[in-house]
Amino acid sequence: MAGADGDDSLYPIAVLIDELRNEDVQLRLNSIKKLSTIALALGVERTRTELLPFLTDTIYDEDEVLLALAEQLGNFTMLVGGPENVHCLLPPLESLATVEETVVRDKAVESLRKISQEHSPVDLEVHFEPLVKRLASGDWFTSRTSACGLFSVCYPRVSSTVKAEIRQHFRTLCSDDTPMVRRAAASKLGEFAKVLELDYVKSDIISLFTALASDEQDSVRLLAVEACVSIATLLPQEDLETLVMPTLRQAAEDKSWRVRYMVADKFSELQKAVGPEITKNDLVPAFQNLLKDCEAEVRAAAANKVKEFCENLPEDSREQIIMTHILPCVKELVSDTNQHVKSALASVIMGLSTILGKDNTIEHLLPLFLAQLKDECPEVRLNIISNLDCVNEVIGIRQLSQSLLPAIVELAEDAKWRVRLAIIEYMPLLAGQLGVEFFDEKLNTLCMAWLIDHVYAIREAATCNLMKLVEKFGAEWAQNTIVPKVLGMANDPNYLHRMTTLFCINALSEACGQDITTKQMLPVVLKMSTDQVANVRFNVAKSLQKIGPVIDSNALQTEVKPVLEKLATDTDMDVKYFAQEAISVLALA
Amino acid sequence: MSAISASEKVDGFTRKSMRKAQKQRKSQGSSQYRTQCAPVELSPLPQLKDAPSTEQQELFTQKLQQCCMLFDFMDSVTDLKSKEIKRATLNELVDYVSTNRGVLVETTYPEITTMICTNIFRTLPPSDNPDFDPEEDEPTLEASWPHVQLVYEFLLRFLENPDFQPSIAKRHIDQKFVLQLLELFDSEDPRERDFLKTILHRIYGKFLGLRAFIRKQINNIFLRFIYETEHFNGVAELLEILGSIINGFALPLKAEHKQFLMKVLIPLHTAKALALFHAQLAYCVVQFLEKDPTLTEPVIRGLLKFWPKTCSQKEVMFLGEIEEILDVIEPTQFKKIQEPLFKQISKCVANPHFQVAERALYFWNNEYILSLIEENIDKVLPIMFGSLYRISKEHWNPTIVALVYNVLKTLMEMNCTLFDELTSSYKADRQREKKKEQERDELWKKLDELRLSSAQNNSHGLPSVQNNNNNNNNNNNSNNNDTQDKSAEAAAVTSENKDPDDSVAAIESSPCAK
């Protein structure tokens, strides 16, 4: 205990407080971030009696300092002497929970929630709950918004009278004057409902939920949708129809697209919460409407949920619902005017094939896939290609290859390098599924063309792609198709292309094995050691270091060593450096 | 593929101007039409001016009802005839309420407000461009503007009609109406916001019962803008209205108004898009200070608290606002704030961004500010001196250096003795600062050791700390300045030795080979 108690003569609080008060914000921030160190130096007693009162009094500072303080105090329990003293952290955190800046307040609330768990039930009623009440009835909206996040952490552990008070306070905040507070209350409604007794959920929460869901501000109404998920999970099935569904139906047809968007975004959760019967009768038509919504934003959110929604439909009627209700909407979305909608759909549509099985996929989905593969927007095509594996399992990729190829070729030459990068990443997968002949015939040239792309990231990805292809198709294939082309680039007039040869060799040597590396690659690398560009020369050194372990030891001594020794005396310091490094790593010295 | 230029192939981030060109094509949006089923075709009604006066009221009502029909302007080919009929009717209605007397009888009020509400109140569509930059990008224009404009025009004429009676209208133009009107200020279409501004101003003027409510709702919009969404297109327009509202506040100012200044207007300065409404905001702030000079100190302290840390453009705006405030400041208020204020200004003149430094140095061209400085030269000069002296030697920009020389000269003329004293103590002061810094480092090092040792071993942690502490106390006798300086220099030299890896990275990324 002696160590933690500190020593008065050592660290007079004045010195430490001076640091916390320094004029320079950065220094104050540094000090606050080490507040636990200061507390440690002071010991628990003086932390409680001197440091905390100081902190409580001087809460007017830059928000950044306050944020750090709010965070620190959440971990201070041991530094003030453990759970029996934890309540002395409440005053500074209470002040922090009322400041204007949202991030500070949120952090203070987070810390309060954390330390609430460390309070004994008695302390919770004596110290914590009064604080919540004070915040809940504060003048300025900030303290009331903070209070919203604290009800649920103290409710389960207090007596029934206090519980009644807490419920009352929450009710009041739900109908607060300022929309900011109502938003805070609405966002905590679900969480609060979870800790309430079921009877109170039915009597209190439902009426609050209904009121918030028909608030005049759409920013409040949309938060009620989120709460809907938790509330519906809590209630028994027979009550859902009367207590939740009227509100949910209303939200799905709200006049504000933001609310409808929220419904679409939470659709899978809602679907799970209300169960299969309501899903069949209510959610299916609601989902159809969202897929046909007039705002693209809403359609895109709904399109994103198509697969999940279909997956979670009750098994007995799943296929029938999809075929008669969902698929017609999906067909329309394929030719939507908005590219985000199409691209959202493309990212999930392939998943439907596993649900619908081979025959339906071929008959109904395949035309949609093909249409999307020809879409004008590269993102749509890319999303289809990136999910090919789902279809492959059901009908095999060959069905698609006719349309696949033009789509791939076009993406491979897209003007945006990020698109090119994305398609490269799917090459190994495609190659595996399409087979070696198809690849050689149609895709090989593309893969080689990427090696001389203008953008380094593409050249790098292309190199890595070659390595994966060799792993898939084997060394012999590499020797016949790739290696000659790669080595040919060693004589290219562009030094960047010559370097690409080296990068490829680095990547391929291991997959190709000792024989190819020593006999075919090594001579090329060694020849490049006399390149006039220093960048190429030091990359020769790096390459030799990299492929050294693959080369047979005889060649290493007789061929590699002299070259590296020569490079180690190069006029360029970087070439020297890497040559020396290679010599020592390969133990050739 | 050949249409794509090589530069574009290299750079995936297409230039903003190019993106803009693409954007302009579809800078139209509307969610007007969405709530209604397919519109019925309209048939033209007779002209109001041709109708006998006994039937005019009836016809007026019919026309108002006709104008409640909404059309889809995103589809430019449908309902052309009906759209034209509605447009002509709206024009006629505008004309009717602005030129005729005695047409606003009590029974028409509900019809009028219904027509207005149906046409203008709508949920604004999602922005086409989620990272819409009002300074760079073309705004999305309201597609149904040909009709909406006339409805706004009509509303304005209605409010301005000499027969207009707020006592009757307040049943319809109520809190809910105002709330919806305020939400429309978020419209991306500047033409719409402009109309809304004038209309809200009229409503504020005519409906005394709504004033407090309007102010409170504007409050809420601003607070949501500052702390929640950071997005609202109509901040400048709302501030413009507030500017004239503040102008009319009675003295002494109510607590509510002061709270609005400190808790809403000052935090508004933190917004990322400050440039879009700074002129209006600064005007409001200065209005407040002209009303009540005692607010100067909290306002300046507030601005100092939110002083931009990284955005030079905003810093220049802050300096502009400070100068506007100093233009109207009372000398007694100046004394209260001079210390923290000039500490900030001294940082600004030393800013490596020359526009910030230049803006701050321009303060010395302002006669009134100059007289305030002269009056308080003994306080201001010591604060400013260090920065000015240093940048006069170090700043990279010759214009700034020249300006600094002038400022130094002015200050020297104000108090020559003090200036000389500061010049001679400059070096010593710098050294004292350096030493203090070192002491701080030591202190923290020791505190860290304490933390480590207590973490490793609770009972044996203390002695080592005690030893260290003795050194710390000795450091207070300041006779080893020189050695410390040298060690600091040595540290600087060693840190310049570069890592071979660094230089290689630089070579690899450079496009041209050696």
Q: Which residues contact A249 (CB under 8 A, 6 or more apart)?
A: A282, A286
Using the predicted structure, report yes or no on whether residue B27 has a pLDDT greater than 80.
no
Place of tokens 């300025």: A140
Q: What is the mean pLDDT of chain B?
A: 80
Q: pLDDT per residue over B104-131, tens digit each?
A: 888 889 999 999 998 999 888 887 776 6
Lowest mean pLDDT among A56-65, B371-380, B404-413: A56-65
What are the pLDDT digits (tens) for B213-235? 999 999 999 999 998 888 899 99
Give the mean model confidence (pLDDT) for residues B449-459.
Answer: 61
B227/chain A closest Cα distance in angstroms? 6
What's the gap in Å between the CA of B374 and the closest CA on chain A?
Answer: 26
- DSSP letter string, B59-79: HHHHHHHHTT----SSSSSTT
Structure tokens at A232: 């519906």
Q: Which residue of B has its CA nearest to A104?
A: B227
Interface contact B223-A180, CB threshold 8 A: yes
The residue-averaged pLDDT of B470-485 equals 39
Neighbours of B481 (CB within 10 A): 13
Q: Which residue of B has its CA nearest to A418?
A: B12
Q: Please indicate if any CB of chain A lies within 8 Å of the CB of B27.
A: no
Residue B15 confidence (pLDDT) above 70: no
Contact list in A for residue B450 (CB cut-off 8 A) is 3, 37, 40-41
Report how far Cα A126 is from the mean position of its chain's Cα atoms. 41
Distance, CA of B129 to CA of B267 (rounded, Å): 27
Kindly give the parts of chain A with pLDDT less than 70.
Answer: 1-16, 59-60, 397-399
Best of A63, A574, A581 to substitute, by most chain B Cβ atoms within 10 angstroms, is A574
ipTM above 0.90, yes or no: no
The pair of three-digit structure tokens given for residue A127, joined into one six-digit string: 């110290």
Helix (H, G, I), strand (E, B) or coil at B439: helix
pLDDT above 50 for B512: no
Partners of residue B29 on adjacent β-strands: B142
Q: How would residue B497 be classed by pLDDT, with cut points 50, 70 and 90?
A: very low
Rounded Cα–Cα distance for residues A104 and A99 (Å): 7
pLDDT in tens, A162-208: 999 999 999 999 999 899 999 999 999 999 999 999 889 888 899 99
Evaluate if residue B11 carries a pLDDT over 60.
no
Instruction: Give the bridge partners for B142, in sequence order.
Output: B29
DSSP states along A512-556: HHHHHIIIIIHHHHHHGGG-SSHHHHHHHHHHHHHHGGGS-HHHI
pLDDT at B22: 44
Dihedrals phi, psi of A297, to nearest 5 degrees: -55, -45
Contact A41 B458 (CB under 8 A): no
Give me the sign of the Cα torsion angle B442, B443, B448, B451: positive
Q: If contacts are CB pairs under 8 Å, which of residues 452-471 in chain B contact chain A? A: 453-454, 457-462, 465-466, 469
Q: Is the pLDDT of residue B476 over 80?
A: no
Residue whose token pair is 């046409």: B119
Which residues have CB under 8 Å from A425's CB, separation 6+?
A461, A465
Which band of pLDDT confidence, cut at 50, 70 and 90, is reported for residue B12? very low
A37 and B1 in contact by Cβ < 8 A? Answer: no
CA-wise closest residue to A47 among A24, A72, A21, A65 = A72
Q: Chain A contact for B320, CB < 8 A?
A: no
Gyration radius from chain A CA atoms: 33
Q: Tell me what pLDDT residue B10 has.
A: 45
> pLDDT for B155-165, tens place per residue?
999 999 888 88
Contacts of B176 (CB under 8 A, 6+ apart): A216
Q: B137 versus A349: which is more confidently predicted?
A: A349
B444, amino acid identity: W
Q: Which of A100, A102, A574 sits opposite B504 (nearest CB)?
A: A574
CA distance B100 to chain A (A): 37
Alpha carbon distance A3, A7 (integer Å): 9
The DSSP-derived string for A53-120 is HHHHHT--S-HHHHHHHHHHHTT-TGGGTSGGGGGGGHHHHHHHTTSS-HHHHHHHHHHHHHHHTTS-
Q: How confident is the model at residue B460 (pLDDT cuts 50, 70, 90)?
A: very low
CB contact under 8 A, A538 and B444: no
Task: Name the residue facing B458 among A4, A34, A534 (closest C-beta).
Answer: A4
Residues facing residue A295 across a β-bridge: none
Mean pLDDT of B236-252: 92
Asked if B228's CB is within 8 angstroms of A183's CB, the reply is yes
**In the Cβ-directed half-sphere of A555, how many Cα atoms lie within 13 Å?**
19
Look at residue B116 in the predicted model and tell me its pLDDT. Answer: 92
Which residue is closest to A577 within chain B, CA to CA? B500
Q: Give the chain A residue whose CA is nearest to the CA of B12.
A: A416
Helix extents (H) in A439-527: 444-450, 456-473, 475-477, 483-488, 495-516, 522-527
CA distances from A552 to A484, A516, A580, A581 (A): 21, 11, 20, 20
Comparing A160 with B50, the larger pLDDT belongs to A160
Task: Supply the pLDDT for residue B415.
Answer: 86
Distance from the Cα of B99 to chain A's closest Cα (Å) equals 37
pLDDT of amino acid A286 = 92
Residue A13: what pLDDT?
65
| B454·A4 Cβ contact <8 A | yes
pLDDT in tens, B138-196: 888 888 888 899 999 999 999 998 888 889 998 999 999 999 999 999 998 899 999 99
CA distance A365 to chain B (A): 30
More confident call, B451 vs B466 = B451
> Measured between alpha carbons, how far is residue B334 from residues B296, B304, B383 in Å?
8, 15, 15
Of A27, A257, A413, the CB nearest to B126: A257
Question: Contact, B230 vs B133, CB < 8 A?
Answer: no
Identify from B18, B213, B444, B470 which residue to disrupt to test chain A contact, counting A C-beta atoms within 10 A and taking the largest count.
B444
pLDDT at B264: 94
Q: Which residue has the tokens 């050696």?
A: B514
pLDDT at B322: 96
- The pLDDT of residue A372 is 86
Residue of B4, B220, B454 lying closest to A180 (CB–CB): B220
- 3-state SS track over A302-321: HHHCHHHHHHCCCHHHHHHH
Q: Residue B38: what pLDDT?
A: 61
Which helix (H) or strand (E) segment holds residue A347: the answer is: helix A339-348
User: Which residues does chain B have within 8 Å of residue A264's beta carbon, measured at their own beta carbons?
Assistant: none
Contact A256 B35 (CB under 8 A): no
Q: How confident is the model at residue B303 (pLDDT cuts 50, 70, 90)?
A: very high
